[in-house]
Structure 1
Amino acid sequence: MADTTTKHPKGLYYLFFSEMWERFGFYLMLAIFFLYMIDAQNGGLGVSKEEASDIFGTFIALVYLTPFVGGLLADRVLGYRLSISLGGILMAVGYIGLAIPGETIMIASLGLIIIGNGFFKPNISTLLGNLYSKPEFEAQKDTGYNIFYMGINVGAFIAPFIASYLRNNYGWGFAFAAAGVGMLLGVIIFWMGNKHYKDADVRKAVAANDMPLSRIFSIVILPAAIAGVLGWVLIPGNIFGSDSTDAFIIGAVPIIIFYVSLWVKASAEDKRPIAALLSIFAVVVVFWAIFKQNGTALTTWAEYYTDREMAAPLAGPAGAIGMVQNLDLSESTVPAYDNMFRAQTDAAGKVITKEGIAPYYNNLPESEWPQEGSSLSLISTELFQSINPFFVILLTPLVVWFFTFLRRRGKEPSTPAKIMWGLVITAMSTLVMVGAVFAGMNGAEKSSAMWLVGSYAVITIGELFLSPMGLSLVSKLSPPRLTALMMGGWFLATSIGNKLSGVLAGMWDQYDHKAWFFVVNCIGSLLAALVILSMLKWLRQIVLEHTGKS
């Protein structure tokens, strides 16, 4: 028999590299998408931060909403391998489409990415879980998901460097196209490993009490689409902040009702595990609402409030690998030098952030203004989004070792307890940013980049406690015929959290003191942790009943 403490199925490594390249494409696109939207000087869309946050939040919400449908179709009709292949190809075409100018092609490309992710994301995670269904691998499932999660972050770490190099040297379009090339590599690697997981690609038999696929589309998907359209078109005003937010939240209601109905109609055997999963889904929404602000609120902090100036001796080699963003102040189109940098104020004397040719200089003291006619080398903003995946790669072996160390002594926390601690640690990361606000005198001065590094380091630990454990828990507790569908439920929770992240980030300018923005996030994460704590004994019992271990 295989050594249950060290062996993993061979298919893990092909799925690792497939997911690595898929995430490379996805996070390359995300690294520059918000910056592309707010860029008004170098070919971007030039929209406001509030509008960009809303678009960004809506996109990443829909990206994680479609796994509901993709998981359902894989479970009942397509199987996992065909779904993963179809999703990868659609996403590749979508990324390449973003490189083509034009609003219509952009919207169509985003749609392809959203649909493609729905087929790819839940089913590759489910296929991985199926590889660990054999008794000799079962004990290694949590570790396998940790390794898989590290693959995600290898791709996510590399992506911003490639994005920075291409957009700084060739333009936004080349960067978006590179995401498509990465996705195609992921699909090819997935096909190469086909023989190692073809036996795990088994569609589950439909039980007598399962709802037919046609009925699910008629009472869930169609109502969700209709509700979303009505939320966008017919509701007067913006109940939840914007038309897109209204449409998303109202459109998600039929899907949420469907998941509740699964619990209501479940057999006595399935009712408790489904209830446990739905409870976890509801709580982890808060984590994603905070975590996904890395592409909006934390990117805003990096762009405008963080000292990104690079020393001259370092700028040359750094520029060669795309780390440097040059602000050229010698162009004839630059307005009068003094007017360009002096802070503008409104009638009440409040400083107005200037969104002109060089908004980076708004909170620099006059003694640090650059020479007229010169250029300045700055670390490209998107590179800060490599910090989180870097820490995932660095810390994943340590977290795995830590849990293994505790397991050997009989002290390893249960999977639900790991999720609870992940929320507590996430709350601590927001307090690091409170420190950054005070260090920068609430944005009056630039703050050290180490504040962002510290915040990302802490939230990464929280992520490693929560996200792979959530995927593992879904695989452990889901009724076999509903595994991909329940994985879609996990991504539905992620989707709602992602949309809320855009809503929260859109409120950035409403906080006169930015510390309160991060304090609100902290309180939300701690409250979510308390909810898990109140359910911990019940959750542990359910996990024990279905796996033999808590």
Structure 2
Amino acid sequence: MHNQSQPRGMVYVVGVQAWEYFSYYGMRALLILYLTQKLLFTDQHAYALYGAYTSLVYVTPIIGGYIADRILGSYWSVIIGALFMVAGHTVLSIPTSDNLTLYTALALIIVGYGFFKTNSSCLLGELYKKNESARESGFSLSYIGGNIGAFVAPLACGYAAQTYGWHYGFGIAGIGMLLGLILFLTGRKHFQDVEKIRIDVIRAKTLGIPNGPLLVVGILLSVAFFSVILAHLWAGYMLAIVGAISLFLLAQIYIKCGEVGRKNLWAIIIFMLFGTLFWAFDQQGGSSINLFIERNVNKELFGWTIPASFYQSINPFAVIIGGALVAWIWRFLAGLGFTPKTLSKLGTGLFLLTLGFFLINTSSQLAMSTGHTSMLWVTVGLGLIGVAELFVDPVALAAITRLNPANATGTLAGIYMLLSGAVANYLAAWIATAASTETVHGKAISLTDAAQNYHHVFQSIFLIALTGFVISIVVNFLTRNKLALDSGK
């Protein structure tokens, strides 16, 4: 009989993950507003830097995972990552308008994210025995904890930024990460059986120099490296290199696969393409939609102006509530002996994305006449997009692990996360740039012109999302019984 109880270390891992979400999404809710209103960046520059940052945080976990596997282990990688993120938010909380400080702070967070993100999940996995049935519920708690952190963060950080100043908002995000690290360290005794630092590798020498000092120097140089990448907006070149490597790996997997494996690989590629499209649109929430809310949405409610950053809590709230509802629906349908097909679930996600942008596009169209529009349209629209997430990443990753062509699940999952994370965020910034408007001291010169620019982008997204949804239906019909996407096929 399997042990149903959760390992005690789970509480500490989930706790630090929740605070990591708090710090990341709290800072993310403020970043585009800070760049345009405090540092007075043009919209184009702000979108480009925002996209570079949010794409690079999905690249570094590949490197951080490699170092953890071979040298540090997941436990110490989580600690190092958390320390770097605390340092980054601390630098952001320094009241200065120096751009070098900004780039250094973001680079510190990028490096910290690399050590923390995937390794915290790997550490959680290490706490469970291979066949322990409590594993799935443990990861579900991790998912819920993260979204709770993401929900609270924009409210806390946004309030601090509006009431006391931008750097207090960033400081709250850093304090959250520090609290998470302290909580994690108090549970050290529960991680005695996880992978330890490989002292032999640390002491070994490369070109006559011990690996330990080389690693320290390499980490510090990486901060400087990413600072330069951000300052010159060179993230696209880095993504091009990483993307080329990913294509090479996909080609290798294709060659190794048999006929069935190649069919499965094509099915996974379908998810990669749709996933990248979905997230390139979804991530408008932190950039173009964020500025649209700030400039064109009437945020007055009972005599109080709701900060634009607060709207960033709608997405995680929708994920939490929608997740419970979707889980109930799956159980209800299973009780009736009906299980929706994988591509049908993906199509549902694209439909909800399309509907969400239809409402946001309607909101921008209404704002074109007076410069302002009701908060209702964008609020419901963001909620629908949040629920749509439940039909994309979880479904895609489950399909990848089920199909497993050429026993390359880890590589394919990594490529999917790279495309749907790094590449999608970079594309999201490029799309948002089309919504740029002229500003003076961070404020739009003409609110009606700004609304027209946002409408142009949101309408294009709506039409492309609608096309993607139709294509998903066609693909679903044409590949019926041809792709083994679902169990039992």
Query: TM-score, normalised to structure 2's length?
Result: 0.78
- Does 2:182 align with 1:256? no
In 1, are the aligned partners of 2:64 and 2:115 still within 8 Å (CA)? yes
In the alignment, which residue of structure 2 is the partner of 1:73? 67
Q: 1:267 to 1:514 in 2, by over 3 A?
A: closer
Q: 1:104 aligns with which of 89, 100, 104?
A: 100
In the alignment, which residue of structure 2 is the partner of 1:165? 159
Per-residue deviation, 1:120? 1.7
Q: Mean alpha-carbon deviation: is it higher for 395-404 or for 244-253?
A: 244-253
In the TM superposition, 1:296-335 aligns within 5 A as 296-312=287-303, 315=304
Please tell me the residue identity of whatever aligns with 2:174. Answer: G
Q: 1:539 to 1:381 in 2, by over 3 A?
A: farther
Q: 1:387, 1:278 → 2: CA distance?
A: 30
Q: Which has the higher helix share?
A: 2
- Does 2:460 align with 1:520? yes
In 2, are the aligned partners of 1:75 and 1:481 still within 8 Å (CA)? no
Please tell me the residue identity of whatever aligns with 2:107. Answer: G
Q: 1:97 to 1:293 in 2, by over 3 A?
A: same
In the TM superposition, 1:91-490 aligns within 5 A as 91-100=85-94, 101=96, 102-128=98-124, 134-135=130-131, 137=133, 141=136, 145-192=139-186, 244=234, 246-264=236-254, 266=256, 276-312=267-303, 315=304, 378-440=305-367, 442=368, 444-476=370-402, 485-490=411-416
Q: 2:80 aligns with which of 64, 86, 91?
A: 86
Q: 1:399, 1:507 → 2: CA distance?
A: 35
Per-residue deviation, 1:192? 5.0
Q: 1:348-370 deviations in whole A, cap 9, x for unaligned?
A: xxxxxxxxxxxxxxxxxxxxxxx
**Per the alignment, in what secondary structure is the counterpart of residue 39 of structure 2?**
coil
In 2, are the aligned partners of 1:75 and 1:484 still within 8 Å (CA)? no
Q: 1:21 aligns with which of 16, 19, 22?
A: 19
Q: 1:287, 1:69 → 2: CA distance?
A: 25
Size of the aligned set, in residue pairs, is: 444
Q: 1:126-154 deviations in whole A, cap 9, x for unaligned?
A: 4556667744528x84x665543322221
Q: 1:466 to 1:88 in 2, by over 3 A?
A: same
Q: 1:76 to 1:416 in 2, by over 3 A?
A: farther
Please tell me the residue identity of whatever aligns with 2:86. Answer: A
Q: 2:402, 2:73 → 1: CA distance?
A: 20
In 2, are the aligned partners of 1:284 and 1:528 still within 8 Å (CA)? no
Q: 1:249, 1:417 → 2: CA distance?
A: 31
Q: 1:103-143 deviations in whole A, cap 9, x for unaligned?
A: 223212211111221222223334556667744528x84x6
Q: Mean alpha-carbon deviation: is it higher for 460-469 or for 269-278?
A: 269-278
- Listed as ranges, the gaps of 5+ residues in structure 1 are 204-224, 233-241, 316-377
Q: Mean alpha-carbon deviation: is it higher for 269-278 or for 49-58?
A: 269-278
Query: TM-score, normalised to structure 1's length?
Result: 0.70
Please tell me the residue identity of whatever aligns with 1:521. Answer: I
Q: Mean alpha-carbon deviation: is it higher for 489-498 or for 80-89?
A: 80-89
- What's the % identity of the aligned pairs? 29
In 2, are the aligned partners of 1:92 and 1:183 still within 8 Å (CA)? yes
- Does 2:48 align with 1:54? yes
Q: 1:273-312 deviations in whole A, cap 9, x for unaligned?
A: 6654444223311111111111111111111110113444
In 1, are the aligned partners of 2:253 and 2:406 still within 8 Å (CA)? no
Q: 1:310 to 1:531 in 2, by over 3 A?
A: closer
Q: Mean alpha-carbon deviation: is it higher for 476-485 or for 187-196?
A: 476-485
Please tell me the residue identity of whatever aligns with 2:168. Answer: F
In 2, are the aligned partners of 1:156 and 1:386 still within 8 Å (CA)? yes
In the alignment, which residue of structure 2 is the partner of 1:33? 31
Higher Cα radius of gyration: 1
Q: 1:190 to 1:452 in 2, by over 3 A?
A: same
**Per the alignment, in what secondary structure is the counterpart of residue 427 of structure 1?**
helix
